[in-house]
Amino acid sequence: MILQQYKIVFGGTMGSGKSTAIRALSEIEVVGSEAVNTDAQAHVKSHTTVGIEYGEITLSDGIKVGLYGTPGQDRFDFIWSVICQGAIGSIVLIDHQVENPLEDLAHYLSAFRNTNQNIVIGITHVDKKIERPTLIYREWLEQQNINYPLFFIDARLQDDVLLLVEAMVANTEVNFT
């Protein structure tokens, strides 16, 4: 494994699909730091990321990009800015089925905007809470005067996650070159 010149960071809530998204895209075996979840109150899952996860993807022009995953728990927020250093951008994933996803979105956008303005938002698990309208995200972003690309995705599907990466690269080319 070679640390890549380019990197994209996946951040967001515990259980939002960061590890799954990286595994869906990575061309190498993902290097992870999963441990037994001791915070079942925050999310019911057996394992969770407690450090950095790393995968790689090669873009159509041959450029290799490192895919870095952050832990979702706030107790690890000290490492988020370290992981984001030098990234071309961050993909923030939010779990639609949690009690207050807009609060989570506000929290993670605030944290990740401190290190990089190139952010793409992915909302996951929409199928698990279909009674909650997805329009709430667009309305909230508009009320906050925030204009980041927003997608509703299944983190298990490579094409869905690739859409986030393509939006990140396009946003980089349009706004940051």
How far is 174 from 177, CA to CA, in rounded Å?
7
What number of residues does the chain have?
Answer: 177
Can you give the pLDDT at residue 176? 66
d(CA 119, CA 10): 10
d(CA 4, CA 156): 24
Consecutive H or E run containing 92: strand 89-95
Q: Which two tokens stand for residue 63?
A: 């450029």
Residue 52 pLDDT: 82
Query: Are the beta carbons of 47 and 19 closer than 8 angstroms?
Result: no
Low-confidence ranges of the chain (pLDDT < 50): 1-2, 37, 45, 47
The per-residue pLDDT for 157 is 98
pTM: 0.85
Structure confidence at residue 25 (pLDDT): 95
Residue 45: what pLDDT?
A: 47
Q: Are 68 and 9 in contact (CB under 8 A)?
A: yes
List the one residue out of 25, 1, 40 whose CA is nearest residue 10.
25
